[in-house]
Structures are given as structure tokens and as C-alpha cells.
Amino acid sequence: MRKPRDFDAELKALEDKARELKTRKVQQLGELVIATGADQLSTDELAGALVAITETKDTSKREAWAKRGVMFFESRSRGAAPATKLNVRGAPAQPGGTQSPAGGTGSA
């Protein structure tokens, strides 16, 4: 006979994994804010810039912001520790979005 599955233990392991992933995501977003210099902005400015980019439907603006984000990471990876930059780059939607509002809000 097969051993019965311990659903409680499996559920707890999944919850622990989800908590770990959420913690890592928050840490990476914080690293991204610092790496881009956005930590110099006030919380209100940063939140406003992020809201503006999420509301932007203009694909040409979003593509320009994404290209700018790629250039940022490429220039940083040449002179910085690659492991840190790879971790920050792991979330593709955030890099272009977080980098660009600082430049995008002045031009929008």
C-alpha cells in the first residue's frame, strides 16, 4: 500500500515558498529603486510616477522607457557585480517601469 500524502505539510511548504518569493520580490524592487537613484525622490513623487506609467497606454512611450531600462541594466552590468543585477533584472515588467518614470514624468 502507498503511504498517504501529508497535505498539511505540502500546503505549509507551498506557503513558505510563496512567502519567500514575495520577500525576494520586495527586496529586488527596493534594490531597483536604489540602483536607479529613485530613492532620492519623495514617496509621493515615486508613487505618482509609478501610477503614471501603469496608466500609460501609449505603446511608443512604454517601448522607449523599456529601451532606456535595458540600456541602464547593460551599462550597470559592465561595472557591477553580475549576480545582483541578474536578480534585479529577473522581473521584466519592473525595470522599464521603475527606471522610466523619473525621466518620463518630466517629458509627460
Residue ranges in 37-81 assigned as alpha helix (H): 43-55, 59-79
Residue % of the chain over a pLDDT of 70:
72
Q: Domain residues for 103?
A: 8-107
Residue 2 lies in a domain: no
**Chain segment 42-95, per-residue pLDDT in tens:** 999 999 999 999 999 999 999 999 999 999 999 987 765 544 444 444 444 444
Residue 1 lies in a domain: no
pTM: 0.59
Residue 3 lies in a domain: no
Residue 94 lies in a domain: yes
pLDDT for 70 = 95
Residue 73 lies in a domain: yes
Number of domains forming the structure of the chain? 1
pLDDT for 79 = 66
Output 73-81 pairs: Cβ under 8 A, ≥24 positions apart: 76/35
C-alpha cell belonging to residue 97: 517601469
Determine whether 39 is exposed, middle or buried from the number of CB atoms within 10 Å of its CB (0-12, 13-18, 19+).
Answer: exposed
